[in-house]
Each structure stands twice: as structure tokens, then as C-alpha cells.
Amino acid sequence: MRKLSLLSKVIIGLLLLSRCTPVEEQKTSMLIRNAAIIDGTGSDRYIGSIRIIDNIITEIGKLEVMASDSVIDGTNMALSPGFIDTHSHHDWDTSRTVDAAISQGITTIIVGQDGSSRTSISHYFDSLATYPLSLNVGSYIGHNTVRAAVMGEDFKREATNEEIEAMKQLVIKGMKDGALGLSTGLEYDPGIYSTTEEVIELAKTTSGLGGRYISHMRSEDVNFEKSIDEILRIGKEANIPVQISHFKLARKGLWGQAANVLERLDSARAKGVLVTADVYPYQYWQSTMTVLFPKRDFDNRVSAEFAITELTSPEGMIIAEFKANTEYENLTLEDIAILREEDPVTTYMELIRMSLETPGESIIAKSMDLDDIKTLTRWKYANICSDGAPVGHPRGWGAFPRYLNMDTGESLEMKIHKMTAQGAENLGLDGIGYIKVGYYADLVLFNPDRFVDNATFEEGQLRASGLELVFVSGEIVYKNSSPTFKYPGRVIK
């Protein structure tokens, strides 16, 4: 046989290579091994591993380490979907890391709540696309925002048909720009002056574009029953899913009635009204001093006395912000009344008068019964929220771990379900809330025996402990009790 020259061998080799299909370059991947996987469904945890490629969960089970894997050992840790905060004010944070949220395992926040949103959803989302955050953000379009844009300072009345039509156009614009739906804050100006019919018309417009309705109801105390009637009517007549924001029974006369209220909601669901709710695990709320005056009769002593006897108490009202006199901040109404040598009713009315002259105030007030809160969280259609911000109420830094440690009679798996998948279901969010193949790799790795909230009313910005790692889109955004200054957050439209 004739021998091939060295040059011939090289040529043949090159020809053979040219006929081969090129092998794709192997992508780097991340493997989280030996963790107790709590997948968001409410099912029992199991020991396993998950593989992440790019920002997606690609495999789950008993997985062998591949050469392309960077490996994280999850031994003695729980791995869950990232927590979804369906009612958040963490967008008040001017930093891109949003520490208050990610430090308690939140990977998605939904903002534009209580009827207040950015006027231009498009501009907001464009800014987030240019400068992403460490977590994901979705937004509603706010009723109060569009009402103020149309009616200006002349809002203490019913809107005309022409004004409602103008509001509809702003809602349509917000929806087309990616808003999840319409939010209302019917206990606040200017929404408090709107009629139910006005809200229904805007909700119909939202429903027609596939959106949802979420509401700080018209009353969480004095007119609670009528407010439940109203939100169910909106859901029925607008044919739209409705979510009750930060669900609570915030009046002493309502305490103990949570189970009865839930029976009403279940009855409405049986009749086709898709009503759901979110709840936070605190007996204290945070809002304005004036919110306890539904008639806005701030100079009415009877109304003031009712507010601080039936709706809260002088010792249960903490002044969180008071620009008219910052020395009053972090004191209770009772403390200030003693300082001023007045009775609490007189002091309360005077503080409101001062705040109207020098705007800038908020209070943290105790109004809820703990057993009612536990009953509400156990409702099948309730999910957990923070209603939190970077400053003020400790819920902004601790709501989710606090709920995990609250004795509600639920398993850890079911609590994780309420913090993840149930929120995604209630708001119609796709691709998050579960540990499933094909879902985004938004994950929380934590020690279930050590994951606790540390934020208090005295020190509201203390980080939770026991949180190992937080992942958003497969990137670690929180490690060693600190942000990693990675910004893989997505805009949710």
C-alpha cells in the first residue's frame, strides 16, 4: 500500500473536520446540591438538587455534578422560590439593591399600590430597563393618580362622565405600557370622593385589557361591611379578579369576626367573583393621622374620640413622621399628650391641625387582633405581603420571616406556598412562584431553624438573620448578610 505523505494526512483531516457538525460551546451552569427543596406547591419538602443555566431552572432531582457547574452546597438548608411581595412600597428605596426587600428573601415586588402609581408606567419601566434593580418589579396604574391628573385640585366631588372618560384613557395607556391592572386607595384623597360607579367603569376598562383590580378598600374599620360589599360588586359588575389589599379587621367591634368574613368571600367565589387577599403579620398598620376620619371632619371632637378609643388607642399610636415638630417622632400619642399636659383627644386634633399647616406625617397604630390575623392568613386564597417600605414600620424589613415564625397552625411548606405560588396565582404572574423546570431561577436558600426577623418598632431597619443566599434570574443578589450589588431584576408586565 502506498504511504500517505504528511501533507496529505493533514488535508484529509481538515476535510473530515469540515463535514462534522460543530459542537456548541457548553454553557456554564450552577448546581445547588443537597438542599431541602420546598417547591411552592405546599407539598412536603424533599432533598434534591437543581441546575440553573442562564436565568432558568433546567433540571431538578438527583443530579450529578458536571464540568460546567459551579456548585453550591445546600446541606441543612431549605431552598424555596423567591418570595413575592404582592403589595409593596419598597420602590421608595432610592438604591438599586433594595436591601429591605432582598434581605428578607423577596425577589419580586409589586408597586403602584393604594391607588398611587407613577403617572407614566412606560417611563418608569424604561428607567428600570436602563437601570435594573436587584429584584423584579411590576406595577399597577393608580386610581388616585389618574383621578388627580384629570380633576386636579377640584376633586372633592363626583367625577363627570367626561372626566371618567379621560381617566379611562389614562388607564388604557397604563395597561398598554405594561401595568398589571388598576389599584385603588378609597380611604385616601382623592379616591375617597369617588363613587362606586366611577370605579366600576375604570375596572371594566381594565378588565377588557386583561388586567386585575387590587384595592385598599374604602374602609377597614367603620364601614368595613359596606366596603366588602363594594369590592365584591366591582368584581362582579366589571368581571374582574379583585384582591383585597393588606386585609384586616381594624376596629375593636369587628374583632373575632374574621371567619364570618371569609365565609362571605367564599360564597362570592362560589358565585363567580374571583376575590383574593394579601395579609401582613402585624397588629400595627402605618398610614396617616387623617385616615381615621372618613368624613374628613378633623375638628369634630366626637370623631377624634371615636378614633382613639374604637380604632386604636393613645398608647397604641406611634408618631412615625411629623415634620411640624420632629421632636414628637417615635413618641406615642399618650406620650405627647403628657408632654403637652392635655387629654389625648385634644392632642390628636391639634397634631392634625399642625400637620395640615406643615405637611409630612405618618403614624403606626395598633388596631388588629392577632387571632384574626392568623385566621386570615390561613384562608386558601390569601397570600403574604409586606405593605412595607425601607423606613418606618418594621414590616418593611421583616414581614416574611416574621410570618414564617408565627404560630398559625400551618406547615412550613404551606407558609412558603402563601409567600410564593399563592401570590403569583392571585396576581396572575407567570414563570415565578414555583421551583419548576422552565421557571425563572428566583430562589431563596435559608436555614429554617434560624431565619427570623429582627426589625422592631424602635429599630425598624434591622436585617433578618438565617438567610443564606438570594437568587434573582440565577444570579446571587444577597450573600453573607449583604447585597452583592448585582442587578438582574426583570420588569414584570
Domain that holds residue 347: 286-366
Single-letter amino acid, residue 15? L
The whole-number pLDDT of residue 23 equals 38
- CB count in 10 Å sphere of residue 273: 20
Q: φ, ψ for residue 184 (rounded to 5)?
A: -125, 150
Q: Is 291:187 a contact under the CB 8 Å cutoff?
A: yes
Of the candidates 423, 143, 458, the residue with the CA atom closest to the CA atom of residue 280: 423
Residue 440 belongs to some domain of the structure: no
Specify the DSSP element, H or E, that contains 29: strand 29-37
Q: What nine digits make up the cell of 487? A: 442587578
How sure is the predictor about 28, in pLDDT bands with cuts at 50, 70 and 90? confident
- Would you say how long the chain is, in residues? 493
Cα–Cα distance list, 254 to 160, 198, 249, 283, 311 (Å) = 35, 28, 6, 14, 10
Q: Tell me what pLDDT residue 444 has.
A: 98
Question: Using 50, 70 and 90 to split pLDDT, how confident is the model at 6?
Answer: very low
In this structure, the answer to whether residues 101 and 214 fall within a common structural domain is: yes
Residues 124 and 252 placed together within one structural domain of the fold: yes
* pLDDT band (50, 70, 90) for residue 8: very low
Is the domain of 318 the same as that of 212?
no
- Give the percent of the chain with pLDDT over 70: 95
Using pLDDT thresholds of 50, 70 and 90, give the confidence band for residue 93.
confident
In a domain, 462, yes or no: no
Q: Report yes or no on 247 lying in a domain.
A: yes
Q: Tell me how far CA of residue 59 lies from CA of 36, 51, 251, 256, 356, in angstroms.
A: 15, 5, 49, 46, 58
Q: Tell me: do 263 and 381 sit in the same domain.
A: yes
Residue 441 lies in a domain: no
Q: Which pLDDT does position 94 carry in this prediction? A: 87
Helix, coil or strand: residue 151 = helix
Q: Buried b / exposed e across 359-374, counting CB within 10 Å, b at 16+?
A: eebbbbbbbbbeebbb
CA–CA separation, 255 vs 91, rounded Å? 32
The dihedrals phi and psi of 37, each to the nearest 5 degrees, come to -85, 120
How many other CB atoms sit within 10 Å of the CB of residue 303? 18
Over 90: is that where the pLDDT of 236 sits? yes
What's residue 13's pLDDT? 46
Is the per-residue pLDDT at 19 higher than 80?
A: no
Beta bridge partners of 216: 185
Same domain, 343 and 299: yes
In a domain, 111, yes or no: yes
Tell me whether residue 15 is in a domain.
no
**pLDDT one-digit tens code per residue, 442-477:** 999 999 999 999 999 999 999 999 999 999 999 999
Closest CA to 209 of 174, 236, 243: 174
Average pLDDT over residues 373-386: 98
Tally the domains of the chain: 2
- Domain end point (choices 415, 430, 445): 430
Q: How far apart are CA 248 and CA 235, in angstroms?
A: 19
161 in a structural domain = yes
Closest CA to 229 of 267, 181, 280: 267
Indicate if 206 and 305 belong to the same structural domain: no
pLDDT tens digits for range 40-88:
999 999 999 999 999 999 999 999 999 999 999 999 999 999 999 999 9
C-alpha cell recorded at residue 236: 362582579
Tell me what the pLDDT averaged over the chain comes to: 94
Answer positive or negative: Cα dihedral of 460, 76, 86, 138.
positive
Looking at the structure, do residues 403 and 353 belong to the same domain, yes or no? no
Quote the pLDDT of residue 26.
56
**Residue-level pLDDT at 396:** 98
- Classify residue 11: in a domain, yes or no: no
Residues pairing with 144 in the sheet: none
pLDDT confidence of residue 9:
43
Do 290 and 391 fall within a single domain? no
Average pLDDT over residues 401-406: 98
To the nearest 5 percent, what fractions of the chain are helix, strand and coil? 35, 20, 40
Give the domain-ending residue among 380, 407, 430.
430
Alpha carbon distances (Å) from 398 to 89, 376, 405, 413: 14, 19, 11, 19
pLDDT tier at 4, thresholds 50, 70, 90:
very low
The DSSP code for 452 is B
pLDDT tens digits, one per residue of 406-443: 999 999 999 999 999 999 999 999 999 999 999 999 99
Residues 332 and 272 in one domain: no
Long-range contacts of 304-307 (CB under 8 A, 24+ apart): 304/345, 304/348, 304/349, 305/345, 307/348
Domain boundary among 366, 385, 413: 366
What is the pLDDT, as a whole number, of residue 308?
Answer: 96
Both 342 and 232 in one domain: the answer is no
Question: Per the confidence metrics, is the pTM higher than 0.75?
Answer: yes
pLDDT of residue 11: 39
Checking if the pLDDT of 336 tops 60, the result is: yes
Mean pLDDT of 192-217: 98
Q: Give the CA dihedral 413, 417, 421, 425, nearest 10 degrees.
A: 140
Q: Could you please report the per-residue DSSP string of 321-371?
A: EETT-GGGTT-BHHHHHHHHTS-HHHHHHHHHHHHHHS--EEEEEE---HH
Strand order in 83-85's β-sheet?
A: 83-85, 106-111, 136-139, 491-492
Map grid coordinates 387590587 to a residue: 214
Do 93 and 171 have their domain in common?
Answer: yes
Give the CATH number for residue 93: 3.20.20.140
Residues 265 and 327 grouped into a single domain? no
